[in-house]
Amino acid sequence: MDNKIRQEIDKIEVPKELNNRVILGMENAKKDYEKQLNPESKGDRKIWSLRKKIMFFSSVAVLSLGLFISSAFVSPAMAKVISNIPYLSSIFRSEPIGGLIFDELKEKGYKISNIGTSYSPKIFHITVEGSDDYYSEVKDEVKKTVIEILMSKGYDAYSVEVNKVRKEDYTLSEEEMKEKNIIENEVTNKLKQLNYKFDMVQTDPTEKTIFINMVGSKKYYHSVQDDVEKMALEVADENKYTGYKINVTRVTTEVRKTPKGGQISSAMSEGLMSKKEFKVTGVSYKSKPLNFIISTSILSSDPTAKALGTEIESMIVEFLESEEISPILDDESYEIIVNSKDNKKIN
């Protein structure tokens, strides 16, 4: 099937009436699609990452495979090819909707501080930074842009709210910045001189606090904590910065392999929760044994409940048995549970 789809894509002539931006988006989407069919390494699969103050979402192409699936610009030939790709698999292959929204708004030059999603009710929240006049000027256009992106994907379950940043970030004064730099440099030099194991020194002159993060075992941390506090306090006093509190911590980062359910549930969640017709209110999973639990807003007494549960289950099975997902599951057995609003199994 994949070879057939690739061959059909190669045959498609892009309509002349499409503007350059749409053409570029389709070409990039085609390249991404082919690369994801034959990834060179696990690193070829794009993953989400933090960016500035964004709660989630990574860098994505402005137009991707997922964007033009339901676009009015798609030619009949392309529409036929895309229809052969299972719904949830197409989402897995394309970019997350949040990243798509973020990059589109940034490309248009809007000052976006935050993007978030709430699920009860389902709302995309866009936060704009800048003056009141700027917010009033762009809020309607920002909302219109986001709605157009959602509708181009067929995501009709969300409404959109555009808000203004309520509190501007505090900017240190010149004197406070000088104080911060002196303390951090002096404390860092002293820690190195005394051969302490640490990875971070930060100073907040507004809160009169010096933060020091130690590395090593718990035993080492407890053996040096008091001495490090005393040393940092002496350094601050010597530089005539009095009244400081010292916060010595041992914060470690443990890298764990993402569970199989976690690797694929995001695509399931986006696809099922974004369309009204599925009535999905939540997607979760348990690792041992592997269960995918789908919550819906339909009552078990509704005559269409059983059909909806069966449809959702079939869609998920098709997704889990696809070429992309089956290697992740590696023949591990799983159960799909579709629950009604009154918490009864309907599949």
In tens, the pLDDT along 87-106 reads: 888 888 777 888 889 889 98
Distance CA(103)–CA(274), nearest Å, equals 19
Contact 5, 30 (CB under 8 A): no
Cα dihedral 56/59/65/66 (nearest 10): 20
- Report the share of the chain in percent with pLDDT over 90: 46
Both structure tokens of 6? 């690739």
Question: Does residue 37 surpass a pLDDT of 70?
Answer: no
User: The tokens of 3 are what?
Assistant: 């070879």
The 280-286 sheet, strands edge to edge: 280-286, 291-296, 335-339
Supply the mean pLDDT for the chain.
Answer: 78
For domain 260-339, is the CATH number 3.30.300?
yes
Tens of pLDDT, residues 113-161: 888 888 778 899 999 988 889 999 999 999 999 999 999 888 999 999 9
Q: What is the CATH number of domain 174-249?
A: 3.30.300.20
Structure tokens at 108: 């248009």
pLDDT-based confidence at 241, cuts 50/70/90?
Answer: very high
Output the CA–CA distances (angstroms, integers) from residue 144 to 46, 136, 344, in the order listed.
27, 14, 38
pTM of the shown model: 0.52
Tally of CB atoms within 10 A around 263: 16
What are the Cα distances from residue 163, in Å, to 102, 116, 140, 156, 238?
15, 11, 11, 21, 46
Count of CA atoms in the C-beta half-sphere (13 A) of 187: 33
